[in-house]
Structure 1
Amino acid sequence: MKVSLMFQSPVVFAIICSCIYLLFLVSKSNGQATTDPIEVKALNSIFQQWGISDVSSWNISGEPCSGVAILNSTNIDDTDFNPGIKCNCSYNNGSTCHITHLKVYEKDVNSVIPEELANLTYLTYLNLDRNYFTGSMPTFLGQLSAMQNLSLAINALSGSIPKAIGNLKDLISLSFSSNNFSGALPSQLGNLVKLEELYIDSSGVSGEIPTSFGSLVNMRIMWASDNNFTGKIPDFIGNWTKLTELRFQGNSFQGPIPASFSNLTLLTDLRISELSNVSSTLDFIKDMKALTTLVLRNNMISGTIPSNIGEYEKLQRLDLSFNNLTGQIPSSLFNLSSLSHLFLGNNSLFGALPSQKSSSLLNIDLSYNQLSGSFPSWVTSDLQLNLVANNFIFDSSNISIFPMLNCLQRNFPCNRASPRYSSFAIKCGGPELTALDGVVFERENKSLGPASYYVTNTSKWAVSNAGMFYDRKGSLYTQNSLAQITGGGTLNSEFFRTARLSPGSLRYYGLGLENGTYNVSLHFAEIGYDDQSSRTWKSLGRRVFDVYIQNF
């Protein structure tokens, strides 16, 4: 194109030339930008190995950086955009696109993480959650230096965590929960000083938390439950003053809970359990007024419940069960307007129940304490209340409030006289059934919730449940299945179509049994998780529990 211009002054010339140059840039940027061919080849190879075909929103086999993949309004976390990529097409004056986001979520991909992924060097976001990836976490992931969010949770990955992950200096969020890794966390992860979120629960890692983690002062969320961490919970976590959520349940830590935790005043969710050897107190929570969930179960905690607990106005869930607490329950606890779930089971609390209850408190578990005295008026309200194994005295004035609860006090007074029993069988979570050998399994299909109990009308046996599924709404405490179970001996598949579930403690009591030696038979079948031979992410779950029979 030939352009003829006449200029009357240098000022006009400058203005006209500027306009022509801007128009040229706009015209060039409106042209079709193309994806780096190396990345196109890598993406096609990856998806071919994973069995992923074209999707309507963007073209895998042609130009991947097109359609919704280049729209600013596209949210990679949108459930309707899966699998999905996002691109940045601002490179080389708008002529080149690079893939920055890749998500393949809950697609049951049965494969490994291939080497071609290393060619997507501009990735800032990678989400491969809920598949069935096997093999190791590749070392080459440490070469993706632009990575900010890396998530490989709920897969079947194994081996050790690569030291090279510590090279991802821009990483903000890292997740490899629910895998089959082994060995200790590499100290190099302490180099991730921008890290704000770390999800490593049920990942299989073990050993002590590296001292290098003391540098992770930007941490806001750390989930590290259900591993085999040993040693003590590090004092330096008390320097993570931005922390809002910390979960350390089901590990092999020794106590005590560090006193430095008193610095963590922004915590909204704190869950620590199963500490051994050294006791702790609750002194460290004195300034944690932002807490909504506090779970400190089975930590050898001694002392008393803080008298200022009523100042924790946002507290909704409180579990201090299976500790060594003494003293009375502070009356201010029952003035908390937000508290909906309270578990104080198996402590050594003395005294009567307080006279007032929060209007939001629906589930109260005070089982296995030394509580005594009479019931206040609020126990007749609509709530689940477990007062098993205390020292309450029942008479005509209160025995009708909780029928048969008198049988489950610490001295278990029912059926002390004849007739005594020498056997019973229970169909947990289901109706009465008769086995092939004629044994009648009595029904146990009452609606047990987070804090509840049931005693048969014959006072022959009883059951109590404690604990709640904190992260699942509307969770049921029974499991149903139509699966055909084989190998049950005298029990056919019908016996395994229902089962009782508990996230905490499920106890059955034989009342009035004759003294002597008994054989106890427990029948289990996994009906909650898919068959592991199906190689789907839903088959990766595992159920963890202990069986406790009286003193054994």
Structure 2
Amino acid sequence: MWVVFWALLLFFIIITSFFATLTTSASPALHADELHALGEIATTLGIKRLNLSDGDPCFLETLKLGGVVSNVVNMPFNNIVCDCSFNNNMTCHITEIFLKSTSLPGKLPPELAKLRYLQKIDLCRNYLSGSIPMEWASMPHLTFISLCANNLSGPLPPGLQNFKNLTFLGVEANQFSGHIPDEFGNLTSLTGLELASNQFTGSLPSSLARLVNLEIFRISDNNFSGIIPEYIGNWSRLQRLDLQASGLKGPIPDAVARLENLTNLIISDMTGINSFPNISSQVIQNLILRNVNMSGPIPSYIWSKPVLRSLDLSFNKLTGVLGINLVPKLTYLTGNMLSGEIKSGVYLNSKSNIDLSYNNFSWPSSCQERSNINTYRSSYLNNT
């Protein structure tokens, strides 16, 4: 009897160990609900054939696409990132979806809200139309949304205020319109806000003053109204400010000019900037103040900015002579009223590309044509 008992006990231990081994060696898998949602998302995006039977997307780290998006399976712009730490490392949830430059012809999928753990969406450079779905406002984990260069339109939904953790929103190069919602001021985690090349109107809401973590603010090529807000000067972390043809007017507030972390200040096609601002940043790399109605001399401090590599002051009313210690690699001064003699030295021996055309410079008689210097009609003595 004891022999039978010990035999049964040994058999039980072996069977238990066998199934325990199977359980611990099994691979984690994407949650079934999210696998189903991927099919719905693909349909809305305009993907005609999505192969979900040939491997788990979390381990393929990509979507196997067909139809309108052929030959992109192995491109870095088509990938999925998952977190497989759920349910004792047995269940995966999608956290990031990148489908860039894949010629998607559909619409933005409201079904993305079914991916409960989704943090990043990048659908840049496609042919997507429609507006941002209100359903996205129920996705509290989102930190990154990039929808640039599509055919999206309509106003920005106020529901975007629910994205308390959003650090980047990029919708440039679309057809969005209307005012910027006041609720955007609640997105205090934003470090990047890119709204350029749309059809936005109205003034920038005062609530944006609360976006003190912004490092990038791009609103060029729009139809905004009003003046450059003073509160931008309180964004101490700001590194890039793009206001080209934004619709705003000057002047540039002194607090904005004093921002010390600015690496790119890009302003063009604006009125109300009558004199040269006092740019404090010593890390400025690209300074564009083109066609902004500035007059007076170019301040001497500009030529001593240590890392300035691109300077564009074209199409203003700048006067005076050039006292130069350093020529940025790309220097555009065309269309001003600058004068004085260009001496052989800094300019003529420079390896920089320099545009001095349409000014009133005089040149030494020994000057020869240089391929890196555009002097067309730059001299009142020789108009050739």
* TM-score (structure 1 length as normaliser): 0.60
State yes or no: 1:167 paired with 2:162: yes
Alignment of 1:255-270 (within 5 A): 255-270=250-265
Distance 1:311 1:106, change over 3 A: same
2:317 counterpart residue number? 324
Distance in structure 1 (CA, Å) of the matches to 2:55 and 2:359: 68
Shift of 1:79: 7.2
CA 1:125–1:81 in 2, change beyond 3 Å: closer, same or farther? same
CA distance in 2 between partners of 1:181 and 1:188 (Å): 17
CA distance in 1, matches of 2:316, 2:116: 51
What is the SS of the residue equivalent to 1:205? strand
Counterpart-to-counterpart distance in 1, 2:20 and 2:153 = 50
Higher relative strand content: 2
Q: Secondary structure at the match of 2:121?
A: strand
How far the C-alpha of 1:350 sits from its partner, in A, is: 2.9
The 1:2/1:288 distance shift into structure 2, 3 A limit, reads farther
Shift of 1:30: 4.2
Give the % identical residues. 34
Amino acid at match of 2:60: G
Report the counterpart of residue 366 of structure 1 in structure 2. Answer: 356
5 Å-filtered alignment, 1:197-346, equals: 197-276=192-271, 278-285=272-279, 287-332=280-325, 335-336=326-327, 339-346=328-335
Q: CA RMSD of the aligned region, Å?
A: 2.7
Matching residue of 1:51? 47
Give the secondary-structure state (helix, strand or coil) at the position aligned to 1:164: helix
2:42 and 2:50 in contact (8 A); partners too: no
Amino acid at match of 2:197: S
The aligned counterpart of 1:119 is: 114
Q: Is the 8 A contact 1:29 1:95 kept in 2?
A: no
- Give the secondary structure class of the aligned counterpart of 1:193: coil
TM-score between both structures, scaled by the size of structure 2: 0.85
- Decide whether aligned partners of structure 1 residues 244 and 341 sit closer, same or farther in structure 2, where only a CA change above 3 A counts: same
Contact 2:178 2:201 in 1 (8 A): yes
Structure 1 residues 85, 366: CA separation in 2 closer, same or farther (over 3 Å shift)?
same
| AA of the residue aligned to 1:215 | R
Counterpart amino acid of residue 318 in structure 2: L
Structure 1: any 5+ residue segments left out of the alignment? 4-23, 70-77, 395-405, 408-552
Return the letter of the residue paired with 1:330. G
Whole-Å Cα distance in 2 between the matches of residues 179 and 302 of structure 1?
Answer: 35
Partner of 2:65: none
Q: Does the 8 Å CA contact 2:85/2:91 hold for their aligned counterparts?
A: yes
- Residue 104 of structure 1 and its aligned partner are, at CA, apart by 1.5
- Please give the alpha-carbon distance, in whole angstroms, between the structure 1 residues aligned to 2:223 and 2:74: 33
Total equivalences in the alignment:
359
Structure 2 residue identity aligned to 1:163:
P
Q: Which residue of 2 aligns with 1:386?
A: 375
1:157 equivalent to 2:146? Answer no
Contact kept in structure 2, 1:331 and 1:356, CA below 8 Å? no
Q: Distance in 1 between matches of 2:56 and 2:276?
A: 59
**Counterpart of 1:63?**
56
Which aligned pairs between 1:46-195 and structure 2 lie closer than 5 A?
Answer: 46-49=41-44, 50-51=46-47, 53-54=49-50, 59=52, 63-68=56-61, 80-195=75-190
CA positional deviation for 1:305: 1.0
Identify the residue that residue 348 of structure 1 maps to in structure 2.
337
Cα gap change, 1:389/1:310 in structure 2, threshold over 3 Å: closer, same or farther? closer
Report SS of the residue matched to 1:185: coil
Q: Return closer, same or farther for 1:105/1:380 CA change in 2, 3 Å cut-off.
A: same
Matching of residues 21-36 of structure 1 within 5 Å: 30-36=25-31
Letter in 2 for 1:305: I
- Which amino acid is 1:153 matched to? C
In structure 2, give the amino acid aligned to 1:383. N
Shift in alpha-carbon separation, 1:241–1:84, aligned structure 2, 3 A: same
Contact 1:289–1:311 (8 Å) recurs in 2: no
Quick one: which amino acid aligns to residue 214 of structure 1?
Answer: A
Specify whether residues 66 and 179 from structure 1 end up closer, same or farther in structure 2 by C-alpha distance, changes over 3 A only. same
